[in-house]
Amino acid sequence: MTDSVPGIDYRFENPHLLRQALTHKSHGPVHYERLEFLGDSILNMVVSTRVFELHPQAPEGDLSRMRARIVRGRTLSEIASGIGLGRQLNLGPGEKRSGGFRRSSILADALEAVLGAIYIDGGYEACRAVILSLCDPLIENLPSADNLKDAKTRLQEWLQGRGRPLPEYTLVREEGADHAKSFHVECRLRDGDEVVGANGASRRKAEQVAAGKLLARLSGQFTEGRHD
């Protein structure tokens, strides 16, 4: 039974913990979900502390956005994929056939489970060292806090800074089967004729795309007007 994961500088005293952390619920009754819960909490703690230390002047909102960029599922799955974690997973036959070892949600959850297992096996400092070795390069190269804001937030702040009302988002239509829906949303200014439409795999994603398109249009108009 293996006592380590390639790409993670830690050897388990209790390899059974590692096996559990690498076992998806489709494989059997002893799986990684409880360890994932624990790992998620420790990951948030360590990353929060790190961004707090590196950005002593940043307000709470900026710190939250920086932490969210690191602990989100997409980032964790990229880390897990980078160390080849998918190849170590114990999956049930169905998940194997469907390529579960490549699925972002499974990779992210398994990485958190491994962190939880390291915490139980070796304690907080060992777990912290592993988290920082995986996350520090990303933390130190985060974009500016403004660039981490989503499009709806940036549009809202742009409008508020000019004393204008917030936009209206309207779901125009939904198309497609339940497993592959497409949402069409319009974003409209309440004090003007500006309106843009956008599609997305969810209503939220469509709203974000629409907000980004409208902000780009407004910013372009503002810049052109300023130089007239």
**Given the residues 3, 13, 40, 62, the one annotated as active site:** 40
Phi/psi at 6 (nearest 5 deg)? Answer: -55, 135
**Given the residues 95, 112, 186, 207, the one annotated as active site:** 112
Active site residue 95: no
Name the amino acid, one letter, at 191.
Answer: D
Active site residue 112: yes
Taking Cα atoms as reference points, which of 131, 90, 95 lies closest to residue 111? 131
The answer to whether 32 touches 110, Cβ cutoff 8 Å, is: yes
CA angle 97, 99, 102 (to 5 degrees): 165
**Rounded-to-integer distance, Cα 171 and Cα 14, Å:** 52
Binding site for Mg(2+), by residue number, is 36, 109, 112
**Rounded-to-integer distance, Cα 128 and Cα 116, Å:** 11
N- to C-terminal Cα separation, the chain? 71
Binding site, by residue number, is 36, 109, 112
**What DSSP string describes 36-76?**
HHHHHHHHHHHHHHHHHHH-TT--HHHHHHHHHHHHSHHHH
Active site residues: 40, 112
